[in-house]
Amino acid sequence: MSSLKVNQDTFEKEVLQSDIPVLVDLWAPWCGPCVALATTVEEIASEYEGKLKVVKLNIDENPMVAANYKVMAIPTLLIFKDGKVDAQLVGLVGKDKIERKFKSLI
């Protein structure tokens, strides 16, 4: 399974009301580091299917979500647990660093 695309309308249902932790990839198509990080995000989505939900949110199309979470730079990864941000990673980060942030939640 690959990551799920979410928007302002589906964010609450897919992220905030999720029964399992959620990794949210905030990105934009013009962002080089975002495109580079996409492969890693997809790997995580496949490897942790059923334990971690992975969603992608295009900030150009959904600026209100980015503003609500004070996202100032992309790529930003937000890790949600029980509807709240548990961790945040900014920039092009490695898979091991991302995994360390959510492994204790699953």
Q: Which amino acids are annotated catalytic?
A: 31, 34
CA distance to 41, 44, 87, per residue, from 1 (Å):
12, 10, 23
Spatial contact of 74 and 28, defined as CB atoms under 8 Å apart = yes
| DSSP three-state, residue 99 | helix
Do 21 and 86 contact (CB within 8 A), yes or no? yes
Q: Give the number of other CB atoms < 10 A from CB of residue 28.
A: 15
